[in-house]
Structure 1
Amino acid sequence: MDLRKIKKLIELVEESGIAELEVRDGDEAIRIARPGGGATPVALQPAAPALQPAPPSRGSAAAVVAAPMAGTFYAASAPEAEPFVRVGDRVEVGQVVCIIESMKMMNEITAEHAGVCSEILLDNGQAVESGQALIALG
């Protein structure tokens, strides 16, 4: 998505008064939201599947969703939004389980395997390293 198109979308949101606009173009997507009246562009990269076998110390967890990159962990799409997954929730293949903000990009992290969320291993807003376990699936 080129910069001119993104600027036009931001102008559209500002002029129309709509609260949020999401546009998908192939593998690219952008969401522009106006919390508190100001337009805030949030660019999304394609969902990045990340799953690795659980470390031996995780006993009951069959697998963990791991961070594919370093960044900041977010359990929900916005501070006031419901979390993508809670402990005890059933997680399906391809389901978005969290977001990692990296280099000002919001990256949706998806599960490669189904399971039940047995533990969320990070607090909202916590820094993560590439390969770090995010969510344990049982």
Structure 2
Amino acid sequence: MDLRKLKKLIDLVEESGITELELTEGEEKVRISRATQATPQAIQQVAAAPAPLATPAAEAAPEPMQGHMVESPMVGTFYRSSSPEASAFVQVGDTVEVGETLCIIEAMKLLNEIES
């Protein structure tokens, strides 16, 4: 492809406003692309959300929990039983004795029994 033809193609791209032109003639292939100028986008102001309405002060208080809460000494995956086929160590509402296994916590590939 000669230089005059390339110049005409460049002028065509500039005049027409297109951003890219690709032309193939036989084994010759030419791609002309021009950088586009980013158009500044208008800044939109978002109105602040209205303040939430006051909630009634007389909401029902949660019932106090009966019994004793046992917290795990570590973070990990909680298992109710020793295997998927086995029954749970304890059920909700069960009375448990001191030292009874409540669950298993898996932390760092170690299985840790949590006792009451």
Whether TM exceeds 0.5 here: the answer is no
Return the structure number with greater relative CO, CA threshold 8 A, min gap 6: 1
Higher strand share: 1
Q: Which has the greater radius of gyration?
A: 2
TM band (smaller chain): 0.3 to 0.5
